[in-house]
């Protein structure tokens, strides 16, 4: 996850502060030096890092903190509040979308930053809200750009408007009339990018905005580009005029400084973040949630939203009922794994849980789920419904059929037995069940060891 190293560094700083009990001015100055270095290493803009630490220092040296019974916690609270302010405040910046008539959104940015894919992600985002988006192919230069937009548009369930032999401003204008005839209320313009900023690209974007009344100009920038992403955003904003940013690859192994710098440098908020390669992997950017993830506090609200999006309510109710009646079997276990996959996998879930953001993705063996599923699929119907009948001979057959070892089958059966015991514990003592469940969720090693 983005910010992983920054999260670890800040956790180290706060741990040292907690070890002091009462804080002195020297303690806070030393801590802020480390915070500033951590921010710079995360590729945060130098002036942004300097101003941020100055604000935190000023507040941390106030009477309220210095005389507090828990000064270290007060400093963490201040850092959290200043991070939220740095990225745009408590409330997420929303797109300007009209309730009546057409809303025109233009995506722009450098080539390779994911404009076309994120045009389709946006379309899917609006389809979920009951809107009728249409994608418009305004990139007439890059080979196969139109074909790519048609492919991802079809995957998203949105029509794609193309027009051969015309310039992008004309294409945009005619797309508007076409959308009106066919009842499309959201028009998403996928414009051409370049490998670097050039005058021709900028001028074409200006001409498109002159040809059609664009409501939102969204700049797509790659989080992995670090400080370069911020410089690109600054140039686009000064030349074309940008209303917001879509920050892509925020799930990657990146230093993440762009998210912390872009608003301060450009004055333009991040409105969306791309969190993966699938068309569903687009989230509204919430500064407060991102701050929580950076500080290792988790992002429970986003986790709940993902769960709600992925949830099959009828299946969930059935599973819950079976749990309460002690009828939970291997088929139910398969269903739970399917839900976890829909939510982005165990690694994505753990990164949003409080205290789990520092976990290295390599610690989560996602392939273990494939092996567990293979073992369950290698069982007979009777074995899935009643695993207690699986004897040594059956174990050898299951291992051979799934390409695993007998030890792996034993490990799976033991974990299943533990889950069944937890179900019984829940019926006897809901509070005791919650404590034990918390202990399991706090262990990223639950499925390690499967070969």
Tell me: is residue 381 an annotated ligand-binding position: no
Residue 450, helix vs strand vs coil: coil
Which contiguous run of DSSP H or E holds residue 189?
A: strand 186-191
Any binding-site annotation on 114? yes
**337-355: b (≥16 Cβ within 10 Å) or e:** eeebeebbbbbbbbbbbee
Is 61 in contact with 26 (CB distance < 8 Å)? Answer: no
Any idea of the CA torsion for 69, 73, 79, 82, to the nearest 10 degrees? -70
Query: Would you say 209 is a known binding-site residue?
Result: no
Q: Is 248 marked as a binding-site residue?
A: yes
Q: What are phi and psi of 62, to 5 degrees?
A: -75, 165
Question: What residues does 161 pair with on adjacent strands?
Answer: 136
404 is in an annotated binding site: no
- Is 194 part of any known ligand binding site? yes
Flag whether 131 is marked binding. no
Q: Is residue 103 part of an annotated ligand binding site?
A: no
**DSSP conformation letters of 271-304:** EEEE-SSSTT-EEE--HHHHHHHHTT---HHHHH
Evaluate whether 72 touches 16 at the Cβ level (below 8 Å). no
54 sits in which H/E element: helix 46-60
Find out whether 251 is annotated in a ligand binding site.
Answer: yes
Question: Residue 271, annotated ligand binder?
Answer: no
- The annotation status of 36 as a binding-site residue, yes or no, is no
Sheet containing 216-222: order of strands: 160-161, 133-138, 186-191, 103-108, 216-222, 244-248, 270-274, 282-284
Asked whether residue 380 is marked as a ligand-binding residue, the answer is no
249 annotated as ligand-binding: yes
Check whether 320 is labelled as a binding-site residue: no
Q: Is 70 annotated as a binding residue?
A: no
Q: Kindly provide the residue ranges of all beta strands, DSSP E only, lying in 192-337, ordered along the sequence.
A: 216-222, 244-248, 270-274, 282-284
Q: Which residues are annotated as a binding site for GTP?
A: 109-116, 190-194, 248-251
Q: Which residues are annotated as a binding site?
A: 109-116, 190-194, 248-251
């Amino acid at each position: 996850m983005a910010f992983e190293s920054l999260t670890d560094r800040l956790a180290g700083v706060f741990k040292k502060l907690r070890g002091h009990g009462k804080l002195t001015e020297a303690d806070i100055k030393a801590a802020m030096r480390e915070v500033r270095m951590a921010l710079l290493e995360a590729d945060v803009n130098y002036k942004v890092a300097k101003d941020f630490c100055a604000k935190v220092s000023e507040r941390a040296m106030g009477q309220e903190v210095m005389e507090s019974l828990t000064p270290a916690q007060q400093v963490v609270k201040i850092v959290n509040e200043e991070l939220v302010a740095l990225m745009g405040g408590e409330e997420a910046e929303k797109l300007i979308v009209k309730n009546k008539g057409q809303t025109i959104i233009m995506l722009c940015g450098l080539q390779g930053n994911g404009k076309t894919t994120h045009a389709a992600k946006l379309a899917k985002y609006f389809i979920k809200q009951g809107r009728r988006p249409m994608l418009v192919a305004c990139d007439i230069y890059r080979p196969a750009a139109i074909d790519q937009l048609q492919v991802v548009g079809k995957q998203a369930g949105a029509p794609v408007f193309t027009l051969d032999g015309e310039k992008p401003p004309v294409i945009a204008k005619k797309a508007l009339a076409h959308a009106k005839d066919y009842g499309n209320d959201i028009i998403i313009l996928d414009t051409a990018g370049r490998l670097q900023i050039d005058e021709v690209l900028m001028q074409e974007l200006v001409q498109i905005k002159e040809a059609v009344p664009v409501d939102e100009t969204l700049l797509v920038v790659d989080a992995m580009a670090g400080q370069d992403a911020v410089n690109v955003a600054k140039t686009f904003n000064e030349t074309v005029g940008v209303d917001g940013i879509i920050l892509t690859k925020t799930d990657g192994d990146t230093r993440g400084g762009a998210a912390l710098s872009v608003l301060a440098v450009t004055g333009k908020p991040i409105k969306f973040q791309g969190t993966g390669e699938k068309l569903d992997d687009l989230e509204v950017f919430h500064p407060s949630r991102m701050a929580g993830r950076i500080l290792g506090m988790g992002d429970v609200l986003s986790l709940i939203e993902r769960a709600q999006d992925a949830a099959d309510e009828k299946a969930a109710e059935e599973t819950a009922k079976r749990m309460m009646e002690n009828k939970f079997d291997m088929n139910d276990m398969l269903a739970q794994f399917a839900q976890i996959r829909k939510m982005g996998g165990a690694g994505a879930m753990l990164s949003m849980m409080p205290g789990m953001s520092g976990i290295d993705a390599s610690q989560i063996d996602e392939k273990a789920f494939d092996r567990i599923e293979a073992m369950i699929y290698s069982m007979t119907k009777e074995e899935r419904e009643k695993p207690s009948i699986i004897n040594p001979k059956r174990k050898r057959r299951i291992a051979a059929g799934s390409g695993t070892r007998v030890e792996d089958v034993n490990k799976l059966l033991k974990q299943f037995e533990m889950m069944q015991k937890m179900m019984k514990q829940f019926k006897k003592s809901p509070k005791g069940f919650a404590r034990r469940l918390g202990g399991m969720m706090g262990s990223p090693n639950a499925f390690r060891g499967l070969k």
